[in-house]
Amino acid sequence: MPTLSHKQVFVDQVKDVLQGANILVVVDYRGLSVAEMTALRRVLRVDNVKLMVAKNTLVKRASAGTEVEALAPYLKGPTALLLGYGDQVAAVKSVKEFLKKNKKQNQLRAGFLDGSTLSAVEVDELAGMPSLHELRGKLVMCIAHPISGLANVLNSNNSSLVRSLDQIASQKEAG
Render pLDDT for 108-147 as a digit per residue (tens, 0 to 9): 888 888 888 888 888 888 888 887 778 888 888 888 777 7
Q: What is the pLDDT at residue 130?
A: 82
Q: Are residues 85 and 125 located together in one domain of the fold?
A: yes
Domain identity same for 93 and 138: no
Q: How far apart are CA 89 and CA 93, in angstroms?
A: 6
Q: Percent helix, strand, coil in the chain (nearest 5)?
A: 65, 15, 20
If you average pLDDT over residues 78-101, what whole number do you get?
A: 84
| Domain co-membership, 71 together with 120 | yes
Q: 114 and 134 share a domain?
A: no
Residues 148 and 120 in one domain: no
Greatest Cα pair distance in the chain: 105
Q: What is the DSSP string of 103-160?
A: T----EEEEEETTEEE-HHHHHHHHHSPPHHHHHHHHHHHHHHHHHHHHHHHHHHHHH
- From the list 49, 26, 51, the residue with the least C-alpha distance to 38 is 51
Does position 153 have pLDDT exceeding 80, yes or no? no
Average pLDDT over residues 159-173: 80
Mean pLDDT of 42-65: 86
Under the banding of pLDDT at 50, 70 and 90, the label for residue 1 is: low
Shared domain for 152 and 120, answered yes or no, is no
* DSSP 8-state secondary structure symbol assigned to residue 165: H
Specify whether the backbone of 140 is left (phi greater than 0), alpha (psi in -120 to 50) or beta.
Answer: alpha
Average pLDDT of the chain is 82
Whole-model pTM: value is 0.69
pLDDT at 148 over 80: no
Is residue 52's pLDDT more than 70?
yes
Domain that holds residue 169: 130-175
Check whether residue 120 and residue 135 sit in a common domain.
no
- Same domain for 174 and 104, yes or no, is no
